[in-house]
Amino acid sequence: MPPSETKASAERSFELERIVFFSDAVYAIALTLLAIELRVPELAQEDTAGLYRALLAEWPRFLAFALSFWIIALFWIAHHRYFRYIKRYDYRLITLNFLILFFIALIPFTSSVLGEYGDSAGGIWLYAVNMLLLGLSDAWLWRHAATRHHLVDAALAPDLIRALELRTLTTPLAALVVLTLSFLIGGLASFGWFSILIFRRVLERRDSTNF
C-alpha cells in the first residue's frame, strides 16, 4: 500500500493537487499552442481584399484549430470530473495520467497535420487515432481509479461511476465514426466529430449528473 493512501482525506492532499495542476498546465499549453499553426498570410501587395482571400484560403487550418480546441476542452472537462472524485493517488494513476498528457501533447502536431492534409484520408486517420488513444487512456485511468473504489471516495455512488465510465467512450466512439466515414466521404469525415455532441447529449439524458 503506497504511503500516499495514508494521506487520503476529505480535503485533498497537496500531492494530489500538484498532479492536477501539473496536468492543467499541459492542457492549457497544448490548447494555446494550437493557434501557432495559424499562419499570417504573406501577400505580394497589401490590400484588404487580398488579405481576406488569403485568410479564407486558410479555413482548413482554422477548422482544425477550432475542432482541436473544443476537443481538448472536452477532455479537460472529463479530467476535471474524474479528479473531483479521486481522493487518493498511487504510482499507476500518475503513469496513466502521463499517458493522457502524452496524447494531449501530441494534438498540436496531429491537429496541424489535419489542417494541412485534412482532405486526404491520411491526415484524418492520424488525428482520429490520436483521439482514439487519448480517449482510451482516459477510460483506463477512470477504470483504475474507480474500480472497487480504489482511489475514489468510498461513498461514491456506483451508478455515477458507471455513468462516467460510459462517458469516457464518447470520444473513442466518435473517432471510430470519423475513421469509418473517411472511407465513404473522404475529407468531409472530419464533420463526424460532431457526433461527440450527440453521444454526450444521449448520455446526459441517461444520467442526471450533467456535470
- Residues of this chain that interact with its own copies (CB under 8 A) are 2-4, 11-12, 14-15, 17-22, 24-36, 38, 40, 43, 46-49, 51-52, 55, 66, 69-70, 73, 76-77, 80, 83-84, 90-91, 94, 98, 101-102, 105-106, 108-109, 112-113, 116-117, 119-123, 125-126, 209-211
Count Cβ neighbours within 10 Å for each residue of 120-145 and write b for 16 or more, e otherwise: ebebbbbbbebbbbbbbbbbebbebb
Cβ-based nearer residue to its own copies, 22 or 59: 22
**What is the closest distance, in whole angstroms, from the C-beta atom of residue 35 to its own copies in the complex?**
5
User: Least Å distance between CB 29 and its own copies?
Assistant: 4
* Residue 187 CB, nearest approach to its own copies (Å): 10
Q: Which C-beta is closer to its own copies: that of 32 or that of 147?
A: 32
CB of 196 to its own copies, least distance (A): 14
Q: Report the Cα 19 to chain-centroid distance in Å.
A: 17
**Which class for 210: exposed (0-12), middle (13-18), buried (19 or more C-beta within 10 A)?**
exposed
Joined grid coordinates for residue 160: 455515477
For 152, phi then psi, to 5°, come to -100, 170
When the beta carbons of 101 and 175 are compared against its own copies, the nearer one is 101
- Helix 158-167 with 195-206: angle, nearest 10 deg: 170
Place of cell 504573406: 42
- By CB atoms closer than 10 A (0-12, 13-18, 19+), residue 171 is buried
Closest separation in Å from C-beta 106 to its own copies: 6
- If one counts every other C-beta atom within 10 angstroms of the C-beta of residue 62, the result is 15
Shortest Cβ 150–its own copies spacing (Å)? 14
